[in-house]
Structure 1
Amino acid sequence: MSPLKALRHTPNGGKSIANLMDSSKVNRRNNKMRKLKVEKYIHDKLDESFMVPVAFIQFLNIAAPNAALSELKQVGFDFQQIITASKQNEPYQTSVEVEEKGIMKRIDISLVQ
């Protein structure tokens, strides 16, 4: 089952609402919300770029089913590593090659302020 299908079929991934609320709090240590920058490249040309607040990744890490998180981790998207790096104010960067509609694409992910 794909991660997106798993997300739709398993409410809250079996996790409690209290955990959802606690984990979605923004890291207020330095009062700046860190963001995850996602860039998609096709043939080394930037095709798409967007930013996601780390608070949203924290929410997904609790709300998404474990099966979906495991699949994402296998392809190179480790939400827990992203959250830990953000909390410790450390850099985080990864790059993953994926095939989409028969076209090879590279996805670069990095933490930014």
Structure 2
Amino acid sequence: MNVAPKAKLNCEEVKGSPVYIGKAEGRAIVAHSIEEACYIKPGDILITFGTDVGWSPYFPMLSGIATEVGGLISHGAVIAREYGLPCIIGATNATQIFKTGDRIVLDSEKGIIYKVVSD
């Protein structure tokens, strides 16, 4: 009988402030600029420095958002609540810690993002 490997936590974890409570697991898309948004695929979790109105067309495709800056009324936070997307702000250095393609969990109830690896 084949059993799928269980996922385990890697030590790569970033904490932030929850904006909209929820949990998402998926592929990280680390975008340092709006020009990199073209790589977003449905279900991705966006990790970026911050968002503005130019990012709006991509929000319906995402399953979660993490920004390094922003407050409860920042663009990313407001739009995340509007779309019901799990969101964390103040995720310091997240764009340096994670890479596009990493399998991650964004748990905004706990205010963390972490990488998932297989055995």
Larger radius of gyration: 1
Normalised by the shorter chain, which TM-score bucket?
under 0.3
Larger relative contact order, structure 1 or 2 (CA cutoff 8 Å, min sep 6)? 2
Which TM-score applies when normalising by structure 2? Answer: 0.23
Which TM-score applies when normalising by structure 1? Answer: 0.24
The structure where strand makes up a greater share of residues is 2
The structure where helix makes up a greater share of residues is 1
